[in-house]
Structure 1
Amino acid sequence: MLVLAALPVHAAITLHARVLAAPGIAAHDVRVVLAPEMAQPGVFALHLSAAAVAVPALGWKQVGMDVTGTLQRRGDGRWHMQAPLRLRAAPGRALRDAQIDVTLDPLSDTAVIVIDQGATRIDAALPMDAPLHVQLQLTALPLSWLGGALGAAMPGASVRNGSASGTIALDADAGSLRVSGRLGVEGLAAFAQGGSVAAQGFGLRGDFNLQHDAHATRLDFDGALRGGELLAGSFYAQLPARDAPLDVNLTRDAAGTLRISRFDYQDGNAVALDASMALGAKGELDSLVVRRANIDLARAIPRYASTWLQSHGLPGFQGMGQAQVTLDWQRGVLNALQLQLHHVDMADTSGRFAIAGLNGALDWRSGTTLAPTTLGWRAASIYRVPLGTVQMRLRDAQGLLTLVAPAQIPLLGGNMLVQHFSFAPAGTQRTRLSTGLAFTGVSLGELSGALGWPAFRGTLGGAIPDLRWQDGRAVLQGGLSMQVFGGYVAVTRMSLAHLFGVAPELGADLSLHGIELAPLTSVFDFGEITGKLDGNVQGLRLVAWHPVAFKAELHTAGGGRISQRAVKNLTSVGGGGGLAGGIQGAVLSLFSTFGYKHIGLSCTLANDVCTMGGIKPANGGGYSIVEGDGLPYIHIIGHQTQVDWSTLLSRLQAATTGQGPVIR
């Protein structure tokens, strides 16, 4: 102002500064040219340019500036300027072609600046001696223009779309930025952490206070979210098209740790959540405290949980009913959990599990003893095997959740008795869960129908004395003994992982003793065999319920009778073996059954190839599968020792579904 006052009437002045600096701003190669307009007293032509303007708090590094217009002194002593404003290399291509209107008041030492560019308008008021202490009124400001400020506060964050309107106050100096006010945002598109955190079509409105310096970024927001999509790792949400109130306080330190001390979110009847959490620099969850979570499953699951469930192997999960949850989880250890369920139904559309009428509560806190709670369901199923109604009393005793008394669950005409159950939520993976089960009177026919097996007859009974959850797998301690077909099957070394995942994995060893072959073979169109069967299956491994490895050996304990149909199919399974002992096909057709002394067959499956064997090596090559007893004498020999597993399965399928022979 002093320069202008001293300027001769017909003189022009040119100013050049290599660097102009103030707290929080620096301009390089600054040029100002003032020239009086001869025909208009008190009016000056103004040209202002800067090769590079840096405002670290706004993310400006090498921003070029050019202003050319007129400066006029009014009668009240104020100066007014109108001019085009053009910036180069500003974040988001801000102010590339704008109009600026500036009013300077030397008496009050203030400047009022109005910037227009299309639908965008910025009204700013600031003291002339502190240009980064600004009051702003924003109208349709592109959020991409603020990308530099966001990147400075949250490294790696980027804004692609959206606009903001509202009133804010900005204070910036060397290394710090303070922004507060009331803001409305529409159509926000942004991402951070390489795209693992993103927003699309996102809207919000409310009061905020942001502070950023070299040590931390702090944000307080009290307002509402509206519409759009959010992604954070495997969490994906479709926000409601109406206002959803949100009150949040967060701090991000220089190491990248994000602490959300308050997160209060209300989405109508779908979710009401009051929580706090901390995330590491790579986005990993470090702690989570849920003070209150009221959830309507039918509304909340499709809106907030469908993608997370899909990433955890439950793409078709559905639910309805009400749940209330509180929990305290710190650095991988659960310290407290309270759960209340009201009329909850849950199901996997692929049929892996379902539960209906789930009601009750759980109350658990580490290191304390609490009163028992009750939890039960009206009906449930696992892989379409139905489980009947049950009520379980659960007690928390010094951090261990246990059954107060054994619980009996109806199962396919019989019962499954949960003899004991203990769950240590704060325990290690190796000691977290243990249970014991006993089965009585379970109908094999109903079980076969539920699982899509052939129609076996009889009942099943047995026990699992100790089943534990270890390292993410269900592991059988001891053995499972089942009574079936007049004998029993012993299962040892059983483990099960990803039970409800895309590809469940089962491992076990099986031992068979005294299985009656007549009722077993009568189920299949394989042909009748009488006698008793022994054997074992070692190293059985199923993936998605399909065998990928095992070593099996089956043999009869004593002799019996075998039908012509079974003779033919055993011959086919062994690779088209022959008949020995001089019995010709014409004579063989006169008999419907034959006596046998031994039957034996083995298969070792590895790399999709079955290495086969029988009772013993046969004279002349191959291996004996059936050794006859009496007349007519039969001897079945297998010749193929290496059989593709799919080929063997097709032979077995043909053997059990084809037409039986006609005896004339």
Structure 2
Amino acid sequence: MSRLILRLLPSSALFACLMLAGVGQAFAAPRSATARIERVTTAVATLHDVRVDLAWPSGMPQGELRLQARLVDAPDLGYRFRDLDWRCPLLRDASGAWQCAGELRSGGERMRLSVELGVATTEASLVHGASRIELHRNATTPDATHIDLTRVPLAWTQALLSKAWEASRITGGTFDAALTITAATDEPIRVAGPLRIAAASFDTPDGTIAGANLGARLDVDARLGERDRFTIDGQLLGGEVLFGTTYVSLQERPVELHLSGLQDGQGWTLPRIGWNDRGILAVEGSAAIGPQAELRALDLQLHASDLAPMSAAYLSGWLGLAGLGDLAIGGAADATVRISDGELDDGLLRLHQVRLDDPRGRFAFNGIDGDLAFSGAAPVSSELRWQGGDLYGLAFGPSRLPFRSAAGVLQLADAVELSLLGGAARFDHLQIRPPGGDESMDVRFGLTLERLDVAQLSEALDWPAFTGELSGTIPEARYADDRVQFDGGLAMQLFGGEVEVTQLSMERPFGVLPTLSADVTFDDIDLAALTGAFDFGSISGKLDGRIADLRLVNWQPVAFDARLDTDRHSGVRQRISQRAVQDLTSVGNASIVGSLQSQLIGFFDDFGYSRIGIACRLSDEVCTMDGLGSAGEGFIIVEGSGLPRLTVVGYNRRVDWPTLVERLAAVGKGDVKPVVE
């Protein structure tokens, strides 16, 4: 029996088919006999300890046949069966046909196997619950065998699939087929016919590849010989597939599928790949796959006539990884992709009036047109353009991005400047190297901000009413392995002073629980501008400070070591308003000390001070506080100057961080009172 038939059958049917050829000889004449065979070797399996028992009492119209095998080993198929046993009543009808139908046991499984050997035909059927396998042969067409399969569990093919894909696990589904197997002399075995798959499910132990509720209606034509080949034409009938970060959801849509393959000694060549999800995505191309299912080569042309449904059907995995799972996309796109030896050789993305709209209001782009070309060898140029959009509610106008690509790198051909917030944001350079081999994607860029209006920025981000201008430079930033490292840091002019951010890095910037780490230093910050922006009373003077080892998780601070101190400058007044004193005592759990000064505080609008200093080390949601120096059991926050001489002292050195945040919120609402001791 052909090896393809055997590939389609479970363990018990395999055993029965292997024995069919010998059964005819045993049926030659009624008799009682026993035959023991140590080993039977076939092209696909070896049977060990085979026993055939035929009991046919003299004068009886029928006898009993029993076939047993201790072990059936089919290493090429991945099957190994033990203790197979089939017994049935054997009879011969008037036409000379032999018939035998009875229970077949394989381990704990019980099935019913029926065999009829006619003068010119052979019929066999195997029934297991709702599953049925039927075999039909006719002497007039000796090279052809017909097999009908009804509701056969896909799990019966697990051993065979594991030979080609070791990590695969079939978890559900059935298939029906009506196949014709042609095995002509000196010709490859041919298998052809319709195949229908229902509710197929599979996965891998690590969960990176999975499929659920997949259906298909296909026509299969395979030729098996020295170089196996196949063609598949038909439709996928819904379901969903996960491949790494790529998630495909077909819902209940029929997708036209065309696939041809040829075994080439190094794996498989797929000279034709056709995929048509009408109105959403059409794909044509070819591929080559290595012996370990690795991608050797790929050449695809893609056309998406409407990106709106495509984002949910094909892009949700990638968009979710970037934190853009609910991104609204419109327009159309075309693309070509060529990969060899697992690396991108060249590609082209062509966009047609594409629009991007983040429902959370972070950004929007309108009217994106143009090409984005990538080359692994000779230089190519391309350009993207957009008509306008907004960033956090801040509108920006038309712009163009000129690109060039060569030797596997895509980069900006020139610096790109955008008008933003009354100033400009300029990408000084941008370089993208796609993943290849053992290397992950590598993105590098430099950014310059020039004279951005902080008031507009504050309004757009719903910050306090900051004023001034924001300028700064990120000379070099690199994104790789889900981490962004900023070399050189960020320097900006803010509140009349300078803010410098160094040791800046981000982990999982587009994933779950993004993390930011940095050191921040302040130099000569104008306290009047700063406290005015935060509605924190009024303090005049200059402020220096440092926030070391800052760590934000999901944009919330979880650790830092901060210290802020005033910096005396000639000609700069140092005054603190009564409102600012109230806010400090409320937030810092501090007190105003000095009997005369405490009694007179209500008569003064502001006070002179010599120094202000406060420190906080945050760890495990507890802020360890300190100030200018010790004052008994407390620490000095404000050291007064002149009359009345005002001193503010903190007493609680361990403050619950969530409580401190609540106090800061109360200060913003003006709901504070001074604490007088």
**TM over 0.5: same fold?**
yes
1:633 maps to amino acid: R
2:91 maps to amino acid: T
Q: CA deviation at 1:181?
A: 0.8
User: In structure 2, how many angstroms separate the alpha carbons of the residues matched to 1:407 and 1:308?
Assistant: 26
Gaps of 5+ in 1: 39-43, 106-110
Partner of 1:228: 239
Residue 569 in 1 paired to residue 583 in 2? yes
Residue 51 in 1 paired to residue 39 in 2? no
User: In structure 2, how many angstroms separate the alpha carbons of the residues matched to 1:99 and 1:369?
Assistant: 69
* Cα distance change on mapping 1:320 and 1:98 into 2, 3 Å: farther
8 Å Cα contact 2:27/2:98 also seen in 1: no
For 1:165-314, list aligned pairs within 5 A: 165-169=177-181, 180-191=191-202, 193-194=204-205, 196-209=209-222, 211=224, 220-239=231-250, 241=252, 243-249=254-260, 262-273=272-283, 274-276=285-287, 278=289, 281=292, 286-287=295-296, 289-295=298-304, 296-307=306-317, 309-310=319-320, 313-314=323-324
Q: CA deviation at 1:291?
A: 2.3
Q: CA deviation at 1:562?
A: 1.0
1:301 maps to amino acid: S
2:638 paired residue among 626, 629, 632? 626
2:331 paired residue among 321, 331, 337? 321
2:590 maps to amino acid: G
For 1:48-127, list aligned pairs within 5 A: 48-52=65-69, 54=72, 56=74, 59=79, 61-62=81-82, 63-74=84-95, 79-89=96-106, 96-97=111-112, 99-105=114-120, 111-115=121-125, 117=127, 120=132, 122-125=134-137
User: In structure 2, how many angstroms separate the alpha carbons of the residues matched to 1:2 and 1:431?
Assistant: 67
* Cα distance change on mapping 1:331 and 1:498 into 2, 3 Å: farther
Which is worse superposed, 560-569 or 600-609? 600-609
1:632 maps to amino acid: P
* Cα distance change on mapping 1:277 and 1:410 into 2, 3 Å: farther
Which is worse superposed, 269-278 or 216-225? 216-225
For 1:408-427, list aligned pairs within 5 A: 408-425=417-434
Partner of 1:499: 509
8 Å Cα contact 1:218/1:251 also seen in 2: yes
Deviations 1:426-467 (A, max 9, x none): 799799433332223322222112222112223322333333
Partner of 1:537: 547
User: In structure 1, how many angstroms separate the alpha carbons of the residues matched to 2:228 and 2:646?
Assistant: 87
* Cα distance change on mapping 1:238 and 1:104 into 2, 3 Å: farther
Deviations 1:603-632 (A, max 9, x none): 2223332222222x1342432211122111
Partner of 1:17: 35
8 Å Cα contact 1:369/1:399 also seen in 2: no
Partner of 2:383: 374
Matched residue SS, 1:583: helix
Which is worse superposed, 553-562 or 431-440? 431-440
2:565 maps to amino acid: H
User: In structure 2, how many angstroms separate the alpha carbons of the residues matched to 1:460 and 1:35?
Assistant: 105
Aligned length: 628
User: In structure 2, how many angstroms separate the alpha carbons of the residues matched to 1:521 and 1:572?
Assistant: 15
Residue 464 in 1 paired to residue 470 in 2? no
User: In structure 2, how many angstroms separate the alpha carbons of the residues matched to 1:180 and 1:416?
Assistant: 64
Q: CA deviation at 1:258?
A: 7.8
Which is worse superposed, 185-194 or 632-641? 185-194
Matched residue SS, 1:204: strand
RMSD: 3.9
- TM-score, with length taken from structure 2: 0.81
8 Å Cα contact 2:302/2:334 also seen in 1: yes
User: In structure 2, how many angstroms separate the alpha carbons of the residues matched to 1:22 and 1:86?
Assistant: 25
Deviations 1:211-250 (A, max 9, x none): 599xx98754333322233344454433364542323356
* Cα distance change on mapping 1:311 and 1:171 into 2, 3 Å: farther
1:103 maps to amino acid: G
8 Å Cα contact 2:415/2:428 also seen in 1: yes
Matched residue SS, 2:663: helix
Matched residue SS, 1:572: helix
User: In structure 2, how many angstroms separate the alpha carbons of the residues matched to 1:148 and 1:550?
Assistant: 54
Deviations 1:135-177 (A, max 9, x none): 11415352448436635754555464323122231769xxxx9
1:180 maps to amino acid: V
* Cα distance change on mapping 1:396 and 1:13 into 2, 3 Å: same
8 Å Cα contact 1:314/1:501 also seen in 2: no
* Cα distance change on mapping 1:127 and 1:193 into 2, 3 Å: farther
User: In structure 2, how many angstroms separate the alpha carbons of the residues matched to 1:158 and 1:472?
Assistant: 32
Matched residue SS, 2:310: helix
Partner of 1:41: none
Q: CA deviation at 1:182?
A: 1.6
Partner of 2:671: 659
For 1:127-142, list aligned pairs within 5 A: 135-138=145-148, 140-142=150-152
8 Å Cα contact 1:352/1:500 also seen in 2: no
Q: CA deviation at 1:552?
A: 1.8
Q: CA deviation at 1:382?
A: 5.5
* Cα distance change on mapping 1:575 and 1:660 into 2, 3 Å: closer
Deviations 1:531-559 (A, max 9, x none): 22222222222221111222222222224
Partner of 2:493: 483
User: In structure 2, how many angstroms separate the alpha carbons of the residues matched to 1:292 and 1:431?
Assistant: 23
User: In structure 2, how many angstroms separate the alpha carbons of the residues matched to 1:292 and 1:495?
Assistant: 38
- TM-score, with length taken from structure 1: 0.82
* Cα distance change on mapping 1:275 and 1:341 into 2, 3 Å: farther
Partner of 1:591: 604
2:581 maps to amino acid: V
1:535 maps to amino acid: G
User: In structure 1, how many angstroms separate the alpha carbons of the residues matched to 2:372 and 2:668?
Assistant: 50
User: In structure 1, how many angstroms separate the alpha carbons of the residues matched to 2:315 and 2:440?
Assistant: 29
Q: CA deviation at 1:590?
A: 0.9
Deviations 1:30-86 (A, max 9, x none): 223446767xxxxx5243221238373674723322232421252xxxx32344343
Matched residue SS, 2:35: strand
* Cα distance change on mapping 1:648 and 1:360 into 2, 3 Å: same
Matched residue SS, 1:647: helix
User: In structure 2, how many angstroms separate the alpha carbons of the residues matched to 1:299 and 1:453?
Assistant: 36
Matched residue SS, 1:405: coil
Matched residue SS, 2:637: strand
8 Å Cα contact 2:583/2:673 also seen in 1: no
1:198 maps to amino acid: G
Residue 637 in 1 paired to residue 649 in 2? yes
Q: CA deviation at 1:294?
A: 2.0
Residue 31 in 1 paired to residue 53 in 2? yes
Q: CA deviation at 1:134?
A: 5.8
* Cα distance change on mapping 1:310 and 1:653 into 2, 3 Å: same
Identity of aligned residues (%): 30
User: In structure 1, how many angstroms separate the alpha carbons of the residues matched to 2:268 and 2:578?
Assistant: 75
* Cα distance change on mapping 1:2 and 1:263 into 2, 3 Å: closer
Residue 579 in 1 paired to residue 585 in 2? no
User: In structure 1, how many angstroms separate the alpha carbons of the residues matched to 2:265 and 2:654?
Assistant: 63
Partner of 1:163: 175
* Cα distance change on mapping 1:258 and 1:89 into 2, 3 Å: farther
Q: CA deviation at 1:338?
A: 1.7
1:322 maps to amino acid: A
Gaps of 5+ in 2: 1-23
User: In structure 2, how many angstroms separate the alpha carbons of the residues matched to 1:26 and 1:661?
Assistant: 92
8 Å Cα contact 1:385/1:451 also seen in 2: no
Q: CA deviation at 1:326?
A: 2.5
Matched residue SS, 2:117: strand
* Cα distance change on mapping 1:54 and 1:349 into 2, 3 Å: farther
User: In structure 1, how many angstroms separate the alpha carbons of the residues matched to 2:253 and 2:99?
Assistant: 42
Q: CA deviation at 1:18?
A: 1.6
